[in-house]
Amino acid sequence: MTDTAANGMAAPACKPSNPNFSSGPCAKRPGWSLEALRDAALGRSHRSKIGKSKLKQAIDLTREALEVPADYRIGVVPASDTGAVEMALWSMLGARPVDVLAWESFGLGWVTDVVKQLKLDNARVIKADYGKLPDLGQVDFSHDVVFTWNGTTSGVRVPDGDWIASDREGLTICDATSAAFAQPLPFDKLDVVTFSWQKALGGEAAHGILILSPRAVERLESYVPAWPLPKLFRMTKGGKLNEGIFIGETINTPSMLCVEDYLDALTWAKAEGGLDGLIGRANANYKVLADWADRTPWVDFFAEDPATRSNTSICMRIVDPEVTGLDLAGHEAFVRAIASRLDKEGVAHDIAFHRDAPPHLRIWGGATVEASDLAILTEWLDWAFAQEKASLKQAA
């Protein structure tokens, strides 16, 4: 039974139709059911005619939905976005100095790859605290540049691509996993773009998408790293790009069930108006939470600069003085208690902060989420905060 706790505040009358607000894997598209996967090529080889056809269709629909230039290659690769990023880092870096930007946990993960695993002596790390962007003016575009477009665990994104030099000498390697299908990506400024469909469109896990510009292909064909490459990372044969990867001939065995699910999501995306329609949905979702934050004294965005606030991984910090006055453990416990209470009510699942981040609420606002569900969620957030605040006072 729903608890009204000591403050006597009644719980909202309605619940979201879909309580899945996780930042990855994310909510399925509206109206999804297992019936959508009835045409999956189950029990068939991914190298069969039908298997390769479906993988090629996934590539072609990705190009259409994201408006990827015709001369960019798109491949389905193993190990989610992580695999896609690491394929690029391990295959392309070392040819020139590299700048690595980090302002949250995933960016810091790429710092680890570049500095501690590849051990590049000519690497420069440009960092910022959670809630902020690093100084983008420090980036040297004679270097290769590695960065996340949207900081999934901080809710901080780059506002646009204007800071990226058009006449750059190095490559730009962009982890766009929580930006794709929700934020404009200027492909003319990006040489490597990666994402996982488990975040972007609510697809099933373990598959990544790797997009390469002609400049990235030229690097692969002209540069051989000093270190050995695992089979999963090898994108060339005899000094030439393995074109098969980019027409549906994957390096390892993909799940045809997951591929079918992605095809369903892409078909839905097309029906929603393509990229503009998806960005519009995500922006409408962001506006629901932004309007709520404007009128709610106990919460604010984690991202300090409004221009850098994500419309997908929307991170909100609690600014109530009695909560901010707690020690870190107490603050974390308070936020997790709100998330747990809403999870038990079946209102919102998985909205607590990432384990590496400071305490906050993280709510997915990508295109597969309905704005009407977020509006209902805000009422429950106010209710849950009131319950936990009453409990805090009782314990004092």
Task: Give the CA angle between residues 316, 282, 297 to the nearest 5°.
Answer: 25
Per-residue pLDDT of the chain (396 residues; tens, 9 = 90+): 455 545 668 999 999 999 999 999 999 999 999 999 999 999 999 999 999 999 999 999 999 999 999 999 999 999 999 999 999 999 999 999 999 999 999 999 999 999 999 999 999 999 999 999 999 999 999 999 999 999 999 999 999 999 999 999 999 999 999 999 999 999 999 999 999 999 989 999 999 999 999 999 999 999 999 999 999 999 999 999 999 999 999 999 999 999 999 999 999 999 999 999 999 999 999 999 999 999 999 999 999 999 999 999 999 999 999 999 999 999 999 999 999 999 999 999 999 999 999 999 999 999 999 999 999 999 999 999 999 999 998 987
At 396 the pLDDT is 77
At 216 the pLDDT is 98
Query: What's the sign of the alpha-carbon dihedral 271, 275, 280, 286?
Result: positive
Q: Where in the sequence of the chain do the CATH 3.90.1150.10 domains occur? A: 274-395
At 2 the pLDDT is 57
pTM of the model as a whole: 0.97
Phi, psi of 331 (to 5 degrees): -65, -45
CB atoms within 10 A of CB 268: 21
Task: Name the architecture of domain 274-395.
Answer: Alpha-Beta Complex (3.90)
At 71 the pLDDT is 98
pLDDT, tens digit, 9 for 90 and up, residues 129-141: 999 999 999 999 9
pLDDT, tens digit, 9 for 90 and up, residues 339-379: 999 999 999 999 999 999 999 999 999 999 999 999 999 99
Specify which residues 127 forms β-bridges with.
102
Fold of 44-270: Aspartate Aminotransferase; domain 2 (3.40.640)
Q: Are 113 and 123 in contact (CB under 8 A)?
A: no
At 1 the pLDDT is 43
Q: Where in the sequence of the chain do the CATH 3.40.640.10 domains occur? A: 44-270
Pairing of strands 150-151, 156-157: antiparallel
At 207 the pLDDT is 96
Residues 242, 239: Cα–Cα separation, whole Å: 9
Record the tokens describing residue 242, joined without a space.
Answer: 């393995």
At 7 the pLDDT is 60
